Amino acid sequence: MADPNREPTAATPTLLATLSGPDRTGVSSHIFARLGDLPVEVLDVEQVVVRGHLTLALLLSAGDNADDVAERIVAAGADLGMAVTTQPGTGDSHRASRTGRAAVTVLGAPLTGQAFGAVTGVVAATGANIDRILRLSRYPVTTIEFDVSGADVPTLRAELAAVSVREGVDVAVSPSGLARRGRRLVVLDVDSTLIQDEVIELLAAKAGREEEVRAVTESAMRGELDFAESLRERVAVLEGLPERVLDEVSREVRLTPGARTLVRTLHRLGYTVALVSGGFTPIVEAIAADLGIVHVRANMLEVVDGHLTGRVTGTIVDRAGKATALREFAAAEGLPLSRTVAIGDGANDLDMLQAAGFGVAFNAKPVVREQAHTSVNVPYLDTVLFLLGIAREEIEEADLLDTSKPIEGAASA
């Protein structure tokens, strides 16, 4: 038998055995029991189960016993009612193309065969290879992750962005391997991202000026107006409102479906979550306290004698300010920008999305979708977890173990 401490060479005789049939308990144990005391070294194993049908691939080094090993595996397959193929060859599964590792995540509702084929076609056309395929979720969205090697991430990301638009699916491309593991900082925009509302509009409604302010907000989010200028214009209509409206609006805001699940799961993973908002500190801090978030950056409304003056104080958190906050939070956490994730929807989030290692446009304006690393266009914020390689079953299992936490969002639909 080969020395277990020696890496198999390209000339090492190996046997690839593939078994396919109904899944049941004890398939692998039965196969290896059949092999008995034959000197077999396991080099690689891959298994997948789809709707109760199992496919198992075994790469073995058996030296001069390859024929005996093949016969016994065929016999084991017959015992189990499985189809078996065996193929002698040489070498291990490692390939030089295992450089350029990337994770390609496709999310669709539905995920059509045409879209799936378009994605895999682009991967092949760019010279990359799909090594593994894994389903991360089935409903309310289907998420499939491809483990790809030989990829140039920027090129693949650009090519698949066109597929995303054409086929109506969300596609994310990110470096794989160690680059995808470990602690991260996740920075979220608040209005129309973490929450369903625009807080300035809720406040303006208290002054009877909601429609007027909404028109300015929409124009600013499309990038048609300077954010700081538009903020001052909108805040001016709040002059004279009693300070208590801030508490009233804090109670009115609605979290986006999946927001709690997203933040709770990120915290369980040891990630740091931060909120960066062009909105207002009292309301953003109330949301952060509810979700257990420490890092917050937002604008401060001026209050005099218990009433809003219609002005903001201090440095305005605008497009550049959000990117600055991301960098400062990353530095405070001792993390490089490559280990940051930013999520937002408006033009004032663009600098932050581009500065982050992974920028996600969430139900965003067209200008934002075009410039972010990837986009999510379903109403569940926790689908971002799938883009980070976290399966729906893992999220559900963690929530079921913690019965004090309700499941909501995509993980409960």
Question: Would you name the residues annotated as active-site residues?
Answer: 189, 191
Q: Is residue 273 within 8 Å of residue 296, measured between CB atoms?
A: no
Phi, psi of 135 (to 5 degrees): -85, 130
Q: Is residue 361 within 8 Å of residue 374, measured between CB atoms?
A: yes
Q: Is residue 340 within 8 Å of residue 185, measured between CB atoms?
A: yes
Q: Which residues contact 150 (CB under 8 A, 6 or more apart)?
A: 97, 98, 99, 100, 127, 128, 129
Beta-sheet pairing, 53-61 with 41-50: antiparallel
**Residue 107, strand partner residues:** 143, 170
Which amino acid makes up residue 192? S
**What distance in Å separates the CA atoms of residue 24 and residue 238, rounded to the nearest whole number?**
66
**What distance in Å separates the CA atoms of residue 115 and residue 144, rounded to the nearest whole number?**
12
Q: Is residue 347 within 8 Å of residue 368, measured between CB atoms?
A: yes
Residue 227 tokens read as 């954010």
